[in-house]
Amino acid sequence: MEACIAELRESAVGELLLNEPLSKHTTWKIGGPADLLILPRSKEQLITAVKLLHKHEVPWTNLGRGSNMLASDKGIRGVVIKPSGGLDFVRFEGSSAIAGAAYSFIKLSVMAGKEGLTGLEFAGGIPGTVGGAVYMNAGAHGSDVSRIFKYADIVLETGELVRYGLEDMGFSYRHSILHEKKGFVVEAGFELAEGDRMEIASAMASFKERRLRTQPLQMACAGSVFRNPPGDYAARLIQEAELKGFAIGGAQVSEQHANFIVNTGQATARDVLALMSHIQGTVEARFGVKLVPEVLVVGER
């Protein structure tokens, strides 16, 4: 690892942070240290970093805003890569929106609306980055990334840069090929359509009002914890199981939205995992439905 770090420094792949607490980089504000956190500021720096990690056989984990991730209390061994700087961009070409991995997915929806482009309204309440949204096929309000996806430039674990189209991505509910084939989205293109600015703004305002009313956005959380089972909603099942407000340690089922777990101040990953397990067991016992986690659990157990 020391030889790899030395070569990373020599190659100027971005800021390097040793033993960086992941609690600083996740929306749950939970997580132990990463052995090394790399903050590449460009596609070129990211490619160089991944090639060097592959050369030295050092494992790496990609991180966006950390909004759909539970990092373990022991942290992550190896390297965590979090894009920054020059990977935080957006541009519009006709009806296409092109954005970097670090760009806010919410901000992208807002900017598209200002351009009079429709198709991204659903993204107005998804608190992650463009890279994370593509990885998870993020969605809401009956739509998701796959409906508007055009292409993604992806750095594979060897450092090779490839471009994947819709047919390459294997999109399904909260899933993409990147769950099986390790890669890092550095840029993505979305095909939108011309729309009425007033109608787009109205739809987004309605979604925002609903989000503020129903979600605990003032507290540390990670969005929806469980996937919706076919034909039903995880939040409904958890609420019907009378689990709203139930807590283990510093982790609590939100009083506002039953499919959110909030950090009341001192929650650990262990608390969250125990609470998730309790929710799954209770819901399965009451309704015969096994809830599947939507959040990614990463790090040393």
Minimal CA–CA distance to 153: which of 99, 199, 208, 206?
99
Calpha distance 26→17 (Å, rounded): 16
Inform me whether the pLDDT recorded for 134 exceeds 90.
yes
- CA quadruple 177, 161, 188, 226: dihedral sign: positive
For the chain, the average pLDDT equals 95
Asked if 116 contacts 143 with a C-beta cutoff of 8 angstroms, the reply is no
Domain boundaries, the chain: 2-85, 89-200, 216-298
Give the list of residues 6+ apart from residue 18 with CB closer than 8 angstroms, or none: 5, 35, 36
Q: Tell how far CA 165 is from the center of its chain.
A: 20
- For the record, the structure tokens of 205 come out as 């305002």
Q: Quick one: fold of 2-85?
A: 3.30.43
Domain spanning 89-200 has what CATH number? 3.30.465.10
Asked if 108 contacts 120 with a C-beta cutoff of 8 angstroms, the reply is yes
Residue type, 75: G
Calpha distance 49→40 (Å, rounded): 8
Calpha distance 141→127 (Å, rounded): 15
Q: Which residue numbers are catalytic?
A: 174, 224, 294
Give the list of residues 6+ apart from residue 210 with CB closer than 8 angstroms, or none: none
pLDDT digit string, tens, across residues 183-231: 999 999 999 999 999 999 998 888 888 887 888 988 999 989 999 999 9
Calpha distance 130→186 (Å, rounded): 9
Minimal CA–CA distance to 225: which of 274, 288, 171?
274
pLDDT of residue 289: 98
Within 10 Å of residue 234's Cβ, how many Cβ atoms? Answer: 22
The arrangement of secondary structure in 216-298, i.e. its CATH architecture, is: Alpha-Beta Complex (3.90)
Decide whether 2-85 matches 89-200 in CATH topology: no
| 265 DSSP 8-state letter | S
Give the list of residues 6+ apart from residue 230 with CB closer than 8 angstroms, or none: none
pLDDT digit string, tens, across residues 226-240: 999 999 999 999 999
Asked if 264 contacts 257 with a C-beta cutoff of 8 angstroms, the reply is no
The alpha carbon torsion through 100, 103, 109, 113 (nearest 10 deg) reads: -70
**Can you give the pTM of this predicted structure?**
0.90
pLDDT digit string, tens, across residues 115-130: 999 999 999 888 889 9
